Amino acid sequence: MLAGRLEETEADLEAHLGPQERFDREPRDPAVEARMRPLLQSALAGAPDGVTWALECHGPICRVEVTQPETSRFDWMKRLNGEPLRGLIDATHFQVGIPGRDPAGAPIITSESFLLLADRQD
């Protein structure tokens, strides 16, 4: 009986965790990354020079880190909410970009997004 209550409490806690905490609790999933990478390449196609991105998936949550010149107006967030990702993502959480400098000293912004994938496997 106590074990059952503990499982219920853990499940309730899991539902209230933020995307970063859920991401950190799951193991890395190369199969999900392999499925998502071409979709992200398509969604972010045509990005201007200087815009780069990285993908890492842990279970059903993927983190997309985007680095772009401070002056760039490339709307990568809008693209993550559009085709071809629409319907594959249940929720998106964007975090404010962090200013920095690239190796040449030019100002850049590094931002990240957590994508909670839908249950379906397309």
Domains along the chain with CATH numbers: 2-117 (3.30.980)
pTM given for the model: 0.84
Instruction: Express each pLDDT in 37-76 by its tens digit.
Output: 999 999 999 999 999 999 999 999 999 999 999 999 999 9
Cβ-defined contacts of 90-93 (< 8 Å, 24+): 90/116, 90/117, 90/118, 91/19, 91/115, 91/116, 92/116, 93/18, 93/19
Nearest to 53 by CA among 122, 118, 109: 109
Which pLDDT score, from 0 to 100, does residue 7 have? 72
